[in-house]
Structure 1
Amino acid sequence: MSSAFEANYGFRRSDVRLGNWRDAPWNVWAFRHVSELIPTARIAASAGLVEEALVNAEGLTRETLFIDGVKTIMADILAKTSTDAMVVMKSGRIVADFHAANFDLETRHILFSASKSVTAIMAGILQGDGAIDVEQVVAHYVPELESSAYADARIRDLFDMQISLDFEETYLDPRGDFARYRRAGLLEPSVAGDTPDTLLAFLSSLRRGANEHGNGPFRYASPNSDVLGLVIERASGQRFADFVTTRLWQPLGAKRDAYVTVDAAGSARTGGGICMTPRDLARVGEMMRLGGIANGRRILSQDWVADTVNNGSAEAWAQSKSVEWLPNGRYRSKWYQTGEASKAFFALGIHGQWLYVDPTAEMVIAKFSSQPVPVSNDMKRLNLALFDALASIV
């Protein structure tokens, strides 16, 4: 006789392991239950907050959309992009909650690299406090990185992925530095005869690439955002999860606890380990849409938000491979800009995690997915087309 778990997911809980949790079909469950696989630290919501009732998305999912000139319905696009949940906000109000099977208002999902955008917000808060100088070098805050590639890199270089680093983000390579990076974050099982580094030890071992920091093409590298997490901890004097709790999560009015994965030393995986509900992710986007304000309270400086959503080097982007899927894009402080008339900007994570903000349409979309392939330019383009179509009907 199959268990209720097996009936819901089509496999047994015991089938999901650290070695396969990002692979289909196991990722559908694993992305919603990361804390059962990897150590985490709690990001606490305020006690006693009550979540509003679910807003039925059935009518919206039946809407006819034209994606690249092809007539379709939204439900088909959600299925094609392996959507686990999607929340749509319009003018500050939740207008639709889409949940796949076995997903509810309490379910927390991993953001993967959309975590970087949240991490940047925390650094922006510290910049507003005067505790971080973006022109200062990394080793000023984290002296343990004095002998690494990061020693003389500026905080601004971390923000904008302008670090010269001998490192390749090869998601499907089971060997090499990227696999070692994952093991340091306890995201993969250890290899026989190998003792995983801590994140700090791994970051300390990275060497500079051929170029100088701060110029050349946009160079995406997740370790840069984990370095920024260490800077945040040193500058704030708090563990990352505690700092997020007091300066973002509770002032934001988040309704559910979030959490972040940690390594063996307790360092947060700020480059990709944050997990939260889709509604709370949407609330982060709404705070950015409003220029750093939530619940009538300023959380982040308006100047920092304006710089993040309006600046960034179009030249650096045009010189990168990312121009293939976002031709007019830019990247600033770990947020992407579409470069389109809508002035839309977004956070993005592998396997289809999105926080999309369209200021012109006053729309925010939080979307979690379990796409089988970590990175697909076709899926990115399809999701962006979906969001653009939604802006005209919500």
Structure 2
Amino acid sequence: MNASAFKATYGFNRDEVRLGNWREAPWNVWAFRHVSEFIPTARIAATPGLTEEPVANADDLLRQQFTRGGTTLSVADALRTTSTDAMVVMKRGRVVADFHAPQFDLQSRHILFSASKSVTSVVAGILHDDGLLDFDERVPCYVPELKGSAYGDARVRDVLDMRVSLDFEEVYHDPDGLYARYRRAGLLEPSRPGETENETVVEFIAKLKKGKGAHGGPYHYASPNSDVLGLVIQGASGRRFSDLASQRLFQPLGARQDAYLTVDRAGTPRTGGGINMTPRDLARIGEMLRQGGTANGRRIVSQAWVEDTVTGGSAQAWAGGESTSWLPQGRYRNKWYQTGAGNGAFFALGIHGQWLYVDPRAEMVIAKFSSQPDAIVDDAKTLNLALFEAIARMV
């Protein structure tokens, strides 16, 4: 696409997209689909030789209506309201509907943000099945560099369930806080004036301090936990995360398109938020979990790990956390959310509207990518959950 066509399509010039604005509207619509053009990445290879099936028409689904809080709206209205870039609906393992915004197709990859955490957790489950990763072991057993940090006496289980006592808050719009420093370490934001070289992700995490309480307490969402999990996986396996994820998850799954994840200047993978992939391949991960850990007749992760992920977790820890306002009956286990509803639904979630939603009772999986202007909007979360429940009744 030449410069004039780009401007006509997106309403801005390509050279306007920079590290300082790529998560902001309107630039995020293009940036979330092209992260590898301005942040270093590592490849997660797909299954060689597989091609994608044709687009499944979503017109009938888009016209259908549902009611939320006394207001009737169509599926198309809900997608528009939540700035949707793509959505795929699978029923019993078959794609029944694809929605693509302009300039998005079956080969387009999109950043998952924190839904990356849930994908990373599946790789941890695979290593646990292999006997290489003990969830009750302390983090420094696998990552010695973190011995003097908040993670020095934290278990891998605490990391998996977001129950690490950590003096860290995710304040997205504070340019001077720890979170901004964390993003600069991951090369997700430009260096500040006077900085010649960012600290690495490991260097940043190694300086984090423990919170006031003990590990294993209330649910406390902190993205560095999930980058720590990626480091733990590399330490336990002796392999790069991207290579391991390709061999043990993406290729057995039958992924059609290479994925990639962002890395820092030392090559450390941003497993807490840097995975980029197609919506159909993400949906295939959800379908694999719906099938109890199998895909294409192959076991990828144990049924015991899947059952623990979708039914385990502490209701008390969740109730003591900060997310009950939008998910009052929820739980969190192995970096996956449970709705607490009777359908047994569970999901992965990322800022700006990234979802992988699995409804076992409806035998349905939905992957949804968005470019919401704001990172976190609780009303958008509850709207998406209402949308998914409605689609389960429609398909």
Q: TM-score, normalised by structure 1?
A: 0.99
Note if contact 1:67-1:389 (Cα within 8 Å) is conserved in structure 2.
Answer: no
Number of the residue aligned with 2:214: 212
Number of corresponding residues: 393
Distance 1:22 1:387 in 2: 25
* Residue 99 in structure 1 maps to residue 92 in structure 2: no
- Match runs of 1:83-122 below 5 Å: 83-122=84-123
Secondary structure in 1 matching 2:219? coil
Number of the residue aligned with 1:198: 200
Note if contact 2:21-2:27 (Cα within 8 Å) is conserved in structure 1.
Answer: yes
Distance 1:327 1:47 in 2: 43
Number of the residue aligned with 1:370: 371
Greater CA drift, 171-180 or 64-73: 64-73
Secondary structure in 1 matching 2:394? coil
Distance 1:47 1:134 in 2: 33
Note if contact 1:88-1:96 (Cα within 8 Å) is conserved in structure 2.
Answer: yes
Shift of 1:144: 0.6
Distance 1:110 1:14 in 2: 20
Number of the residue aligned with 2:226: 225
Distance 2:371 2:193 in 1: 29
* Residue 342 in structure 1 maps to residue 343 in structure 2: yes
- Aligned AA for 1:151? G
Distance 1:95 1:288 in 2: 18
Note if contact 1:317-1:330 (Cα within 8 Å) is conserved in structure 2.
Answer: yes
Shift of 1:371: 0.3
Shift of 1:162: 0.5
Secondary structure in 2 matching 1:218? coil
Q: Which runs of 5+ in 1 are unaligned?
A: none
Which runs of 4 or more aligned residues in structure 1 lie more than 6 Å from their structure 2 counterparts after TM superposition?
A: none
Number of the residue aligned with 1:379: 380
Distance 1:210 1:304 in 2: 31
- Aligned AA for 2:283? A
Number of the residue aligned with 1:160: 161
Distance 2:280 2:3 in 1: 33
Note if contact 2:262-2:270 (Cα within 8 Å) is conserved in structure 1.
Answer: yes
- Aligned AA for 1:72? L
- Match runs of 1:35-114 below 5 Å: 35-114=36-115
* Residue 262 in structure 1 maps to residue 263 in structure 2: yes
- Match runs of 1:269-280 below 5 Å: 269-280=270-281
Note if contact 1:166-1:206 (Cα within 8 Å) is conserved in structure 2.
Answer: yes
Distance 1:340 1:166 in 2: 32
Note if contact 1:87-1:97 (Cα within 8 Å) is conserved in structure 2.
Answer: yes
Shift of 1:68: 2.5
Secondary structure in 2 matching 1:324? coil
- Aligned AA for 1:352? G
Distance 1:268 1:318 in 2: 31
- Aligned AA for 2:207? S
Distance 1:178 1:370 in 2: 21
- Match runs of 1:223-302 below 5 Å: 223-302=224-303
Distance 1:338 1:158 in 2: 20
- Aligned AA for 1:29? W
Number of the residue aligned with 2:313: 312
Shift of 1:321: 1.8
Task: Kindly provide the CA deviation profile for residues 289-323 of structure 1, in whole angstroms up to 9, marking residues without a partner as x.
Answer: 01100101000000000000001111111112200
Note if contact 2:3-2:14 (Cα within 8 Å) is conserved in structure 1.
Answer: no
Greater CA drift, 303-312 or 169-178: 169-178
Shift of 1:2: 6.6
Secondary structure in 1 matching 2:182? helix
Greater CA drift, 167-176 or 352-361: 167-176
Task: Kindly provide the CA deviation profile for residues 134-177 of structure 1, in whole angstroms up to 9, marking residues without a partner as x.
Answer: 00000111111010000110000000000000111001111111
Distance 1:68 1:344 in 2: 21
Shift of 1:354: 0.2
Note if contact 1:347-1:356 (Cα within 8 Å) is conserved in structure 2.
Answer: yes
Secondary structure in 2 matching 1:3? helix
Secondary structure in 1 matching 2:95? strand
Note if contact 1:163-1:219 (Cα within 8 Å) is conserved in structure 2.
Answer: yes
Note if contact 2:118-2:334 (Cα within 8 Å) is conserved in structure 1.
Answer: yes
Distance 1:185 1:21 in 2: 14
Distance 1:113 1:177 in 2: 18
- Aligned AA for 1:257? D
- Aligned AA for 1:349? G
Distance 2:3 2:355 in 1: 34
Distance 2:209 2:79 in 1: 41
Secondary structure in 1 matching 2:107? coil
Distance 1:284 1:179 in 2: 31
Q: CA RMSD in A?
A: 0.9
Distance 2:72 2:346 in 1: 26
